């Protein structure tokens, strides 16, 4: 979805503007950089569904909290540490002058955590005793 979103944004921008505004590579990078954080949120949902199905809705609350904190926190209204209470706080801001290895490591850790949450959630889901409906 991130790829489709980026391509749609680029095609719309180039179609509406008579001048070359922004490159496709920049839009793709800006969209795809959020993928590990989105995977983490999806992994958290899978884990909650497998381990604590009654509390799966908490993930939506956390997602809303994450959106609110990231958008308001980056305006300088909240303390800087609040942004790092969400997975979206670890995403680098673009454009970067050079490759930031800390940002790359953060995204790899988010992706690994997402995989771990999915595996743990699926493992717990298969061990649940679900009766016939």
pLDDT digits (tens, 9 = 90+) for 87-106: 998 888 777 656 678 888 99
Let me know if residue 92 belongs to a domain: yes
- Tell me the whole-structure pTM to 2 decimals: 0.82
| Domain housing 12 | 1-32
Is residue 132 assigned to a domain?
no
Do residues 125 and 50 touch, judged by C-beta distance below 8 A?
yes
Same domain, 18 and 57: no
Do 67 and 98 have their domain in common?
Answer: yes
**Is the domain of 42 the same as that of 104?**
yes
Do 120 and 67 lie in a common domain? Answer: yes
In this prediction, residue 31 carries a pLDDT of 87
Q: Are residues 75 and 12 in the same domain?
A: no
Spans in the chain with pLDDT lower than 70? 18-20, 96-99, 129-133
| Helix runs in the chain, H state only | 2-16, 24-32, 35-51, 58-73, 101-127
In this structure, the answer to whether residues 66 and 108 fall within a common structural domain is yes
Say whether both 117 and 102 belong to one domain.
Answer: yes
Residue-level pLDDT at 99: 66
Instruction: Please tell me whether residues 7 and 54 are part of one structural domain.
Output: no
* Cα distances (angstroms) measured from residue 35 to each of 29, 41, 72, 98, 127: 10, 10, 21, 20, 29
**pLDDT score at 110:** 95
Same domain, 20 and 51: no
Are residues 67 and 96 located together in one domain of the fold? yes
CA angle 64, 65, 68 (to 5 degrees): 85
């Amino acid at each position: 979805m991130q790829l489709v979103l980026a391509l749609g944004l680029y095609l719309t921008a180039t179609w509406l503007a008579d001048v070359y505004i922004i490159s496709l590579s920049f839009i793709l990078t800006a969209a795809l950089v959020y993928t590990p954080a989105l995977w983490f949120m999806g992994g958290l949902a899978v884990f909650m569904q497998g381990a604590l199905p009654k509390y799966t809705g908490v993930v939506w609350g956390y997602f809303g909290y994450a959106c609110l904190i990231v958008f308001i926190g980056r305006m300088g209204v909240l303390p800087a540490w609040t942004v790092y209470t969400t997975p979206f706080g670890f995403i680098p801001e673009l454009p970067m002058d050079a490759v930031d290895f800390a940002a790359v490591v953060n995204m790899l850790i988010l992706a690994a955590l997402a995989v771990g949450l999915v595996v743990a959630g699926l493992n717990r889901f298969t061990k649940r005793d679900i009766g016939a409906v």
